[in-house]
Homo-oligomer: A and B are copies of this chain.
Amino acid sequence: MSTSFSELSYADAGFAFTSFLSILGTTMVKLFGEESLAAEYLGEMRDSGGFCVILVSEEGAGSELGRTETTYAQKGENLVLNGDKYFSTNTDAAGFLLIAARSADDPSAHSVVLVPRGTKGIDIVKRWDMHGMRGSGTYQVRLRDCAVPAHHALAGNGLRILEAGLNASRTLIAATAIGVSRRIRDLSMEYAAGKQVKGARLIDNAVFASKLGQIEMLIDVMRNQCLAAAAHYDALLASENPAASLYRTGAMRPALAAKMYCGQAGWSVATIGSEMFGGLGYTNEHLITKLVRDLRYVGLVEGGGDVVRDLIFSRGDLLCLRRS
């Protein structure tokens, strides 16, 4: 999957992201949802297509899951949700939403609740004017007294479920960088084959070769890291009790490292690439500008560098050294 995702991202990273993002939600429903819930919503998706999305980020909390202010309250047989989500990808077109919320009664209790898109009280406040990844949509969403049956809550601590689920989207976002970087490489090769510099073709210039060698190396390393993260995740999904395994594992180091590394390495490819085309590379009329805008996404979303570095530092492996 990681490979075909890189191919799609080669064409358009926003479209690739839109196409694959639902896997995050469907996996969460399949692993942590009641059987009947999964049957109904995943069945419909299988039969009729469509998207599902998760709504996590809030204006105040940023990337800190524990500070979610959206609440759910038990009212009779329903859960009623209230809150405001700041950035959510593709919400408008989704069939159902998975919403991170905390209990109105017990602030320490977190849950993830499945809410059909048509539920009363869901209001798309605005579509953000994003810098890049414009093949996907990013929305600000208001939830006012959205009621769903109580069994729409996934089983388990919401923070833990989200951490488990984010492994998939972190790896997907990381893999975006591979496709876009390959596109930058090919665009550079094509340009250099036709461009004269100092009396020779740019493609025969030693400095150009040095840059392309560096880019090619970075692409190889990004690819192997994403494949390793995907293999790690797939192994958990193939274990006897994938829900329990994922739940216990939480944020996986290879997925975190893939997200962080591809953010950095991809940005380095983008920086080299955007210097390749002279003044043309500074216009909106050249593809490189769009590629650079799309690539910036990888390092910024779902936890920028600081957040991910902190997650890696706080994971079990280092922690055991830390306590000793």
Contact = CB atoms under 8 A, between A and B. Distances in A.
Which of A132, A206, A257, A284 is packed against the most chain B CB atoms within 10 Å?
A206
Interface residues of A, number: 78
Interface stretch (A1-9, A108-116, A299-307): A299-307
A46 interface: no
A205 interface: yes
Given A131-B282, A301-B282, A274 B289 contact: no
A281 to B, nearest CB: 6
A303 B324 CA distance: 28
A163 interface: no
A181 to B, nearest CB: 13
Interface stretch (A22-30, A47-55, A154-162, A218-226): A218-226
Copies held by the complex: 4
Nearest to A198: B64
Contacts of A213: 308-313
A271 interface: yes
Given A210-B309, A278-B304, A296-B274, A196 B60 contact: yes
Contacts of A227: 224, 228
A73 interface: no
